[in-house]
Amino acid sequence: MRTAICPGSFDPVTLGHLDIIKRTARLFDKVVVLVVINTAKTPSFSAEERAEMLRTVTKDLPNVSVDVYDGLLVNYVKQHENSVIVKGLRAMTDFEYEFQMALMNRQMLGTTDTLFLTTSAEYLYLSSSAVKQIASFGGDFSRFVPAEIHDKIRDRLCK
Ligand code: ADP
C-alpha cells in the first residue's frame, strides 16, 4: 500500500491545490494532505481551520485524509511506512525552492523521495496569497477556490 503525503500551508486551499490532490488520489492507494506549520509565514487561518477547509473540499475523495503536523516533515514521513512526498510545481519559481527542500529532506532521511506533479495550465498563476490579496480588497475570487469554502474566506479577509 503506497501512501502519498501532500504537504503545504493551504492558507487557504485553492483549486490549484485541489487539482494536485485529486490527481495524486488517482495514482496512490492513500493520500494524506498534511497541513504543516511554516515558521516563515504568518497565516490568515489557524492550522485547524485550514485542515477543516481541506476536509470539506475532499469529503468525496474516499482515499484522502487530512492531518496537521507541527514538526519536521521528514519525522512525519518516517512514521508512515511506504510513503512518498508529492508536491505541485507551478513555474520555474517553485522549482528552485522545491528542489532544495526535496534534497534537504533526502539528506535528512535517505529513504524520502519527493515526486512532482506539474500544475494544470489553468492554475499556473494561482496561489493562496493571490486569493488572499483579491479577497482582502473585496474582489471576485470565486473561480480560484472551491465553492464550499468561498464564504469563509470572504468573511475572514474582506475588509
Ligand atoms: P508551501 O507553504 O509549501 O508553499 P502551499 O500551500 O503554498 O505550500 O502549497 C502546497 C503545495 O501545493 C506546494 O507543493 C505548491 O507548489 C503546490 N501548489 C500551490 N498552488 C498550486 C497550483 N496553483 N498548482 C499546482 N500546485 C500548486
Q: Summarize pLDDT for 88-123 with one digit per residue, the tens.
A: 999 877 888 899 999 999 999 888 899 999 999 999
Task: Tell how far the Cα of 60 is from the centroid of ligand 1, in angstroms.
Answer: 21
Pairing of strands 64-69, 30-36: parallel
Report pTM. 0.94
Question: What is the pLDDT at residue 114?
Answer: 95
Beta-bridged to residue 118, according to DSSP, are 89
Name the closest-CA residue to atom 15, ligand 1: 88
Q: How far is Cα 159 from Cα 156, in angstroms, rounded to an integer?
A: 8
Task: Identify the residues whose C-beta falls under 6 Å from ligand 1.
Answer: 8-10, 14, 16-17, 20, 38, 87-90, 94, 119, 123, 126-128
Q: Measuring CA to CA, how many Å separate 155 from each of 20, 73, 150?
A: 26, 31, 9
- The answer regarding whether domain 3-121 maps to CATH 3.50.50.60 reads no
Enumerate the active-site residues.
Answer: 17, 41, 90, 128
